[in-house]
Amino acid sequence: MKAVLQRVVNASVAGKCYNSFDGKTISSIGKGLLVLVGIDRYDEPADATLIIKKILTAKLWDDDNGGGWKKNVKDIDGEVLCVSQFTLLASLKKGAKPDFHDSMASLRRDNSTIPSKAYYTSFLEEIKAAYDPSKIQDGEFGAMMQVSLCNDGPVTILLSSRDKPATKSGTPTPATSGINTPLPEAGQKKVKKPKDKGTGHPKFAAGADREAANPLGTAVDEVIDEGRREAGATNSGVNQEEANRE
C-alpha cells in the first residue's frame, strides 16, 4: 500500500463527471491531513494496519512551546480526509502510457466481488476505530473527483507499507545476511579457505589433465618454453666464447 500524506489547513473533494464538473462537494475537512491511498494488488490487512499507524502517529505539527514536529493529528484534534487513488501504483517503465497492473483489481473475472473496494472499506473502518469516526472523511470510491486543498508548509510525506520487508502474513522478515555466522572465540585465528589448485582451472592443472582442460593454452606454453630453452642455450654459448677470449 502507498499513501501520500499532506498537512493541510483545509481540504475538500467534489464529484466530477467525465465530461463536466457538477460541483457537488462530497466531503471536506478543516485543519488536519489529506491522505491519498493507493492499494497494491499484493496488499493484506497488515499493510493497511501499518499505514494507518503511520498516518495517525506522524508528528507533523509544532507543540505549544514552538517545538517543531512534536504533535500528530490526534494530538491537535485534527481531521483526516482519505481519498482512494489507484494511480499511485502507476508505472511508466514500458513507455509514456501509465501501467496500473500493480494496483489491486476493482473487479474479479466472475464479477462476484470488488476486492479493492472491500479492502478500502475495511481500511476506513479500521482508521475510524483507531481514532474518532467523526474526524474521518472520505471521497467516493471509483469516481472521478476533484480535490482541493491548502497545503500547510507545504508538508507532504510519502508512505509505503513496503518500507520494511514483510512476509505474506505482514510480519517483518528478519535479515539473514551474516547474523547467524558464529564469531571466532577469543584467541582463535580465522581459518583461511585454501585456494583451489586442482584440475578445475587450466592454470593449476598438470600434465594430461592440463592439456585436456586447455589444449590451446598448453600448446602455447610449449612454444614459449621451447623459445626460452633456445634463448638460454644461445646465451650460454655467448658467455663461453667471451670466457675463451679472456
Q: What is the pLDDT of residues 124-156, one digit of tens each?
A: 999 999 999 999 999 999 888 999 999 999 999
Whether 68 is in a domain gets the answer yes
Mean pLDDT calculated for residue range 56-82: 96
Residue 245 lies in a domain: no
- In the predicted model, what is the mean pLDDT of the chain? 78
* Total of domains in the chain: 1
Q: Name the percent of the chain lying above pLDDT 70.
A: 60
- Within 10 A of 237 (CB to CB), how many other CB atoms are there? 10
Positive or negative: CA dihedral 121, 132, 59, 53: negative
pLDDT recorded at residue 23: 72
Radius of gyration of the chain (CA): 35
Domain assignment present for 212: no
What is the domain-level CATH number for residue 69? 3.50.80.10
Residue 190 covered by a domain: no
- The C-alpha atoms of residue 193 and residue 27 are separated, in whole angstroms, by 67
Q: Residue 127 domain-assigned?
A: yes
pLDDT of residue 178: 36
Give the burial string for 178-206 (b: 16+ CB within 10 Å, else e): eeeeeeeeeeeeeeeeeeeeeeeebeebe
**Per-residue pLDDT, 233:** 59
Q: What average pLDDT does the segment 31-36 reach? A: 98
Which pLDDT band holds residue 95 (cuts at 50, 70, 90)?
very high
Q: How deeply is 32 buried, as exposed, middle or buried, from its count of CB atoms within 10 A (0-12, 13-18, 19+)?
A: buried
Supply 35's cell numbers.
Answer: 491522505
- Domain extent at residue 10: 2-160
Note whether residue 230 is domain-resident: no
Assess whether pLDDT exceeds 70 at residue 70: yes
pLDDT digits (tens, 9 = 90+) for 163-193: 865 455 555 544 333 333 444 455 555 555 5
Percent of the chain residues past pLDDT 90, beyond the cut: 53
Residues recognised as catalytic: 85-87
Which single residue is written with the C-alpha cell 494511480?
Answer: 87
